[in-house]
């Protein structure tokens, strides 16, 4: 059974099923389609399915032409999980958020496995790519698949291979970013390597699914802790009237032993604000308190409040208050040059400002209309930036430093700017660093 599946993957006769056609699933689908595999994409959103089947993209950095080419190469999207029986590989790319208690919410993963289970067959491989705590694949997926009568490693194969997508990063692509892969058994690992090695330049095997799950968490905890560090240093530097961005740039000239991380108004995206708490939650099972991780999370979560204080102080110096102030937020995506709004600190800041009575507007060249979100609601469209529109606002807050912004025009036209990204290098009385 293993040899047959490995052969089908190798000669590209295998049909690839990707469940979850978002920021992770879509680039993966494109890679398989580009390499000549037939791909069936599964999603619970019928509007997205229709859009994709018509060769249209709903993700800014993946153009329509790429989706159209994938459709021409045989890709099709569906909401019908009965078609799981048609595919040889099932790759799960569904969300793994936290609940309000900062505990892992595996409902999307488990409901997906439940939807797939009646249609699983021998000779398939299932790969989980969603970030989660070490042990998820063994503790949650394995028993559910075995309950269907399969023998893992013999007639069905199970792997964990964490996604490493970085939307908007032109330097590294799905193809060039090395892919970590762990299997439940040696046979599972062999199949997992074959599943990915024809579309990814380098596959990095590890000894188990747990090791692969922990690898992903380490990557994101490393970033979260270091961002927390520079965010805390930013507060200290501000008190000392030192520009933290100047300090970081100077430190980065050291050719060894230092990696530059930039502070900001908080952290966003699906990974950095969420993934560390998966390990924190699981560590409690072993009697371990992950103080370092939780401290970094606390610092990063409090950054919108720090920005709020700087806004309030700046307005107060101008004999104004947040209550009743017209405030423009520049950039609501979680990072520059993308349309990804997941866990964006800009949105948390907007809510804090609105709760204090501010009249909120935003401008983001990548997000023309504030999207429907599970936990946030604003009935707003992005405003066009020009001298007249900027001059109307009591305060302009730069939260996401998109390259498309005209920073010189913003500086000259705004009454008062709060810069959370260190983008404005000139010392000006109308600019406050936050």
How far apart are alpha carbons 390 and 411 in whole angstroms? 9
Token code pair at residue 104: 């892992």
Give the helix ranges, DSSP H, for 117-205. Answer: 136, 142-146, 186-197
How far apart are alpha carbons 181 and 169 in whole angstroms? 22
Task: Kindly report the backbone phi and psi dihedral angles of residue 153, in degrees, each rounded to the nearest multiple of 5, phi listed first.
Answer: 95, -10
Q: For 270, how many CA atoms within 13 A lie in the half-sphere containing its CB? A: 20
Residue the block writes with tokens 């930039």: 262
DSSP letters for 305-353: HHHHHHHHHHHHHTT--STT-EEEEE--SSSTT----TT-HHHHHHHHH
Contacts of 399 (CB under 8 A, 6+ apart): 264, 265, 307, 329, 330, 331, 332, 345, 346, 349, 420, 421
Query: Ramachandran region of residue 402, left (φ > 0), alpha (ψ -120 to 50) or beta?
Result: beta
Reply yes or no on whether 271 is catalytic.
yes
Q: For 207, how many CA atoms within 13 A lie in the half-sphere containing its CB? A: 1
Task: Kindly report the backbone phi and psi dihedral angles of residue 127, in degrees, each rounded to the nearest multiple of 5, phi listed first.
Answer: -120, 125
Token code pair at residue 232: 């805390």
Residue the block writes with tokens 């507007």: 361
How far apart are alpha carbons 216 and 195 in whole angstroms? 19
Cα dist. 382→168, 298, 378 in Å? Answer: 20, 30, 11
Nearest to 401 by CA among 350, 365, 348: 365
How far apart are alpha carbons 220 and 210 in whole angstroms? 16
Give the number of other CB atoms < 10 A from CB of residue 31: 20
Catalytic residue among 93, 188, 271, 395: 271
Which sequence positions are flagged as catalytic? 271
């Amino acid at each position: 059974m293993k040899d047959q599946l490995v052969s089908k993957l190798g000669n590209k006769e295998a049909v690839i099923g990707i469940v979850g056609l978002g920021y992770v699933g879509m680039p993966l689908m494109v890679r398989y389609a580009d390499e000549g595999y037939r791909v069936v994409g599964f999603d619970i959103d019928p509007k997205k399915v229709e859009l994709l089947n018509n060769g249209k993209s709903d993700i800014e950095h993946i153009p329509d032409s790429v989706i159209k080419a994938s459709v021409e190469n045989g890709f099709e999207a569906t909401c019908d999980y009965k078609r799981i029986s048609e595919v040889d590989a099932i790759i799960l790319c569904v969300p793994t958020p936290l609940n309000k208690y900062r505990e892992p919410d595996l409902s999307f993963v488990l409901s997906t496995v439940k939807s797939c289970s009646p249609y699983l067959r021998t000779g398939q491989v299932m790969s989980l790519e969603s970030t989660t705590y070490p042990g998820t694949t063994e503790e949650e997926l394995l028993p559910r698949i075995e309950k269907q009568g399969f023998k893992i490693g013999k007639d069905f194969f199970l792997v964990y291979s964490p996604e490493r997508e970085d939307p908007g990063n032109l330097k590294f692509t799905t193809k060039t970013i090395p892919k970590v892969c762990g299997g439940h058994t040696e046979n599972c690992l062999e199949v997992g390597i074959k599943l990915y090695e024809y579309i990814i330049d380098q596959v990095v095997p590890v000894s188990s699914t747990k090791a692969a799950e922990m690898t992903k968490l380490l990557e994101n905890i490393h970033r979260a802790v270091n961002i927390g560090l520079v965010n805390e240093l930013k507060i200290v530097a501000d008190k000392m009237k030192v520009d933290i961005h100047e300090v970081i740039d100077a430190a980065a000239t050291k050719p060894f032993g230092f990696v530059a991380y930039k502070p900001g108004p908080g952290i966003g995206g699906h990974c950095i604000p969420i993934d560390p708490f998966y390990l924190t939650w699981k560590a409690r099972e072993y009697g371990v308190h992950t103080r370092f991780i939780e401290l970094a999370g606390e610092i990063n979560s409090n950054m919108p409040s720090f920005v709020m204080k700087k806004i309030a102080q700046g307005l107060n110096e101008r004999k104004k208050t947040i209550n009743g102030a017209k405030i423009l937020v520049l950039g609501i995506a979680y990072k520059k040059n993308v349309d990804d709004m997941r866990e964006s600190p800009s949105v948390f800041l907007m809510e804090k400002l609105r709760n204090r009575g501010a009249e909120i507007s935003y401008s983001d060249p990548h997000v023309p209309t504030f999207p429907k979100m599970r936990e946030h609601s604003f009935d707003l469209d992005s405003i066009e930036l020009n001298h007249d529109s900027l001059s109307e606002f009591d305060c302009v807050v730069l939260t996401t430093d998109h390259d498309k912004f005209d920073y010189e025009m913003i500086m000259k036209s705004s009454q008062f700017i709060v810069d959370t990204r260190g983008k404005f290098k000139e010392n000006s009385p109308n600019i406050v660093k936050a």
